[in-house]
A and B are shown apart, each in its own frame.
Chain A
Amino acid sequence: MDSFLSLLHGFETALSGWNLLYCLLGVTIGMLVGILPGLGPVAGTALLIPVTFGMDPVSAIIMLAGIYYGSMYGGTITSVLINVPGETASVITCIDGHQMAKQGRAGAALGIAAIGSFIGGVTAIVCLALIGPVLANLALKFGPPEFFAIMMFGLVMLIALVGKSVIRGLVAAAIGLLLSLVGMDPITGLVRFNFGQTALLDGFDFTILAIGLFAFSEILISLEQSIESMKPAKIGGLMPRRDEWKPSFKAIGRGTGIGMMLGLIPGASAIIASLMSYTTEKRLAKDPSRFGKGAIEGVAGPETANNAHSGASLIPLFTLGLPTSPTVAVILSAFILHGLTPGPTLFTKNPDFTWGVIASMFIGNVILLIMNLPMIRLWAKIAAIPYKLLYPLILIVTLTGTYAVNRSLWDVAMTVFFGIVGYFFRKLDIPIAAIIFTFVLGSQIESSFLQSLATSQNGMLIFFTRPISSTILGIAILVLLLSIFSGIKNKRMKIASDVEM
């Protein structure tokens, strides 16, 4: 009851003129940041911290938090329209979202994504408000072994991305991991696999890899068809079909749960939440073969999950001062800059602040929903531009953008290179989403693994002697075995039914 009253008081703060403006500014910038590949929420938030120096702490955090969850809304747009993930977690949305766009259903994809994001975001905030402190204590028990266990769990989720051949799926995962190792080792500073190129000192850029492997390969594959005959897919309605609402909402519900759970866990980034939601939807669907070809649950679930994740990941920040992801770490630095100490006392010592921010997150999500839904018409129109004009424009814009990321022509060359690689991989049924996924997680996997072993007294056993990590690893192994088992069962059933014919 107390919390409720404080929340109402918080709304008072959040709805005050300036704060409302900052919220609007934050979420708008967040959306732009999400739309622009190459500018992620980490950079966007960091760039704007100096702007907040003169501001009230409440206003500052309202704006920065707005950028954070706003970017989750924006990332969807380019993922659906041009198969380029605007920020890492949107990679999963590319898979079915872009397929839907190609079928003229970009509106439906963006619409359900906006709705799901809203539901996921708001639910996570409600939980933050009500049971935040209680849940957050669990996060304290997480150390490197637990992070590694979560990563392993995430890797098991990759099964949903695998096509015909499990081996090729694993090859993709291994390639992604290997690519992530290029550059400076985070622990010792040793530069690895740069083969003498100074441009590779920092390793490969996510944007370059994503644009090359996803967008360029997509364009190259489309070129095989006669472009003249490619009629722009009719914008088939801006909302999902009647029979799609129910499965979408189920996916949204599950996505919210998954996103929130993983948001609380330090080290589990949004991309894991998205992937886990995708995997879950694919497993639970009546007809899993629809996935990868434009299944709306493949958009609804992951999009909800990543918004729920971003909301939930602020819980450990508020209650423990524990940042669960790079963007949240930047927000933490903003806290400190403004003289606030996040932690258990934040709720009691600065109730105005905390509840003000929480209320503003509600408002921010509403603003985003209002901004996004009408804009879908606009985005869908863009998707309907004749492909023969669209693809050169996409190419020049992305070629420009990839240069701008690091002002490096090497990056542009790399994008083209990975475009070719991506093309071949897609032809060979090697899942590129798996490559990106392990690439994103690669350095974290290695550092958590090495840190665990460095502190362990009994070598690799540490993962199994600690209660939380062993539980997570146990679940991961269980899921793995179940998948293998059901895979074999399916094959047997197929063979049996073939024989019966």
Chain B
Amino acid sequence: MSRPIAGIIASIAILGVSLIFLFQSFQYPYRGSYGPGPGFFPTWMSGILLVLSLLCLIEALRGKNQSDEPWPVGQGLRSLLYVLGCLIAYVFLIRYLGYIVTGMIFLFLLLIRHYKWYIALIPAVVAPLALYYLFRNFLGILLPEFRF
């Protein structure tokens, strides 16, 4: 069977999440005034997830029914991490540099991988501006401003 390591790690991660939720659930009242309270469903659901993640773990350890999806390597992996990096950078920078600037940087970084820089500039500059005005004038929504 295919490498179950990923499956094992994932099962443990989900197990952890279910434990966190389970302990949180205990904080909410189990019984309400007329039957189950707000803690009832969360407790049971986290419990069920706990059991399921254990079963998942066992399945992974046995190597049964594992996913055949290949994990990316080399060029593919670099591509993936690069874009992911850009996305995370976008999320962090937007609150400081505002939407338009961050959007332009973001698009530019993504496009120069495939296009020459002077071609990449066109959509990189146009799109955020266009979207900004579209959202502002048609939907009345102001996108984040440059804040310094």
B35–A171 CB distance below 8 A: no
9 shortest interchain CB distances as A-B pairs: A429-B67, A224-B76, A165-B65, A388-B114, A454-B35, A454-B34, A392-B110, A453-B35, A224-B72
A396–B127 CB distance below 8 A: yes
Is A205 an interface position by the 8 A CB rule?
no
B56–A171 CB distance below 8 A: yes
What secondary structure prevails in chain B residues at the interface with A?
Answer: helix
Chain A nearest Cβ from B34, distance in angstroms: 4
B49–A188 CB distance below 8 A: no
Q: A397-B131, A413-B91 are in contact. List 19 more A-B contacts (CB 8 A).
A: A165-B64, A171-B49, A185-B38, A190-B28, A193-B42, A220-B83, A223-B83, A224-B79, A227-B114, A395-B106, A395-B110, A399-B90, A399-B103, A400-B99, A400-B103, A409-B144, A416-B88, A427-B6, A429-B66
Chain A nearest Cβ from B49, distance in angstroms: 4
Contact of A188 among B37, B107, B114 (CB under 8 A): B37
In whole angstroms, how far apart are the Cα atoms of A461 and B81 in the complex? 53
Is A389 an interface position by the 8 A CB rule?
yes
Residues of A360-399 whose CB lies within 8 A of B? 388-389, 391-393, 395-397, 399
Chain B residues in 8 Å Cβ range of A181: 41-42, 45
In whole angstroms, how far apart are the Cα atoms of A219 and B79 in the complex? 11
Is A226 an interface position by the 8 A CB rule?
yes
Chain B residues in 8 Å Cβ range of A449: 36, 41
Residues of B51-109 whose CB lies within 8 A of A? 52-53, 55-56, 59, 64-69, 71-72, 75-77, 79-80, 83-84, 87-88, 90-91, 94-95, 99, 103, 106-107
Is B30 an interface position by the 8 A CB rule?
no
Chain A nearest Cβ from B78, distance in angstroms: 10
Chain A nearest Cβ from B65, distance in angstroms: 4
Chain B nearest Cβ from A484, distance in angstroms: 15
In whole angstroms, how far apart are the Cα atoms of A119 and B97 in the complex? 50
Chain A residues in 8 Å Cβ range of B7: 428
Q: A168-B56, A193-B21, A416-B88 are in contact. Are A388 and B115 (CB under 8 A)?
A: yes
Contact of A171 among B14, B94, B114 (CB under 8 A): B14
Contact of B91 among A164, A193, A195, A416 (CB under 8 A): A416
Considering only CB atoms, which chain A residue lies closest to B6 in the complex? A428
In whole angstroms, how far apart are the Cα atoms of A419 and B88 in the complex? 11
Is A475 an interface position by the 8 A CB rule?
no
B32–A188 CB distance below 8 A: yes
8 contacts between A and B (CB under 8 A): A170-B52, A178-B18, A187-B38, A188-B37, A190-B29, A223-B79, A403-B143, A450-B32
Chain B nearest Cβ from A35, distance in angstroms: 14
Residue of A187, A223, A403, A456 with highest tally of chain B CB at under 10 A: A223
A to B contact number (C-beta, < 8 Å): 169
Interface size class of A (residues with CB under 8 A): 35 or more
Chain A residues in 8 Å Cβ range of B6: 427-428
Chain B residues in 8 Å Cβ range of A163: 67
Chain B residues in 8 Å Cβ range of A403: 99, 143-144
Chain B residues in 8 Å Cβ range of A201: none
In whole angstroms, how far apart are the Cα atoms of A393 and B113 in the complex? 14
Contact of B87 among A388, A416, A428, A429 (CB under 8 A): A416
Considering only CB atoms, which chain B residue lies closest to A39 in the complex? B139
In whole angstroms, how far apart are the Cα atoms of A228 and B45 in the complex? 45
Is A225 an interface position by the 8 A CB rule?
yes
Is A174 an interface position by the 8 A CB rule?
yes
Binding site for A on B (CB under 8 A): 6-7, 10, 14, 18, 21, 24, 28-29, 32, 34-38, 40-42, 45-46, 48-49, 52-53, 55-56, 59, 64-69, 71-72, 75-77, 79-80, 83-84, 87-88, 90-91, 94-95, 99, 103, 106-107, 110-111, 113-115, 123, 127-128, 131, 135, 139, 141-144
Considering only CB atoms, which chain A residue lies closest to B88 in the complex? A416
Chain A residues in 8 Å Cβ range of B28: 190, 192
Chain A nearest Cβ from B31, distance in angstroms: 11
A409–B135 CB distance below 8 A: no
Is A412 an interface position by the 8 A CB rule?
yes
In whole angstroms, how far apart are the Cα atoms of A416 and B77 in the complex? 18
Chain A residues in 8 Å Cβ range of B115: 388-389
B114–A396 CB distance below 8 A: no
Interface flags for A396-422 (1: CB within 8 Å of B; 0: not) read: 110110011001010011001001100
Chain B nearest Cβ from A91, distance in angstroms: 21
Interface flags for A218-251 (1: CB within 8 Å of B; 0: not) read: 0110011111100000000000000000000000
Contact of A178 among B49, B106, B111 (CB under 8 A): B49
Chain B residues in 8 Å Cβ range of A416: 87-88, 90-91
Residue of B7, B42, B45 with highest tally of chain A CB at under 10 A: B45
Q: A193-B21, A427-B71 are in contact. Are A178 and B46 (CB under 8 A)?
A: yes
A400–B131 CB distance below 8 A: yes
Is A167 an interface position by the 8 A CB rule?
yes
Considering only CB atoms, which chain A residue lies closest to B65 in the complex? A165
A192–B38 CB distance below 8 A: yes
Contact of B76 among A225, A424, A453 (CB under 8 A): A225
Q: A188-B32, A416-B91, A420-B84 are in contact. Are A167 and B56 (CB under 8 A)?
A: yes
Chain A residues in 8 Å Cβ range of B41: 181, 446, 449-450
Chain B residues in 8 Å Cβ range of A393: 123, 127
B131–A178 CB distance below 8 A: no
Contact of A174 among B45, B99, B107, B141 (CB under 8 A): B45
In whole angstroms, how far apart are the Cα atoms of A453 and B37 in the complex? 10
B75–A226 CB distance below 8 A: yes
B79–A389 CB distance below 8 A: no
Is A175 an interface position by the 8 A CB rule?
yes
Chain A residues in 8 Å Cβ range of B123: 389, 392-393
Q: A192-B28, A397-B131, A400-B99 are in contact. Are A174 and B48 (CB under 8 A)?
A: yes
Is A9 an interface position by the 8 A CB rule?
no
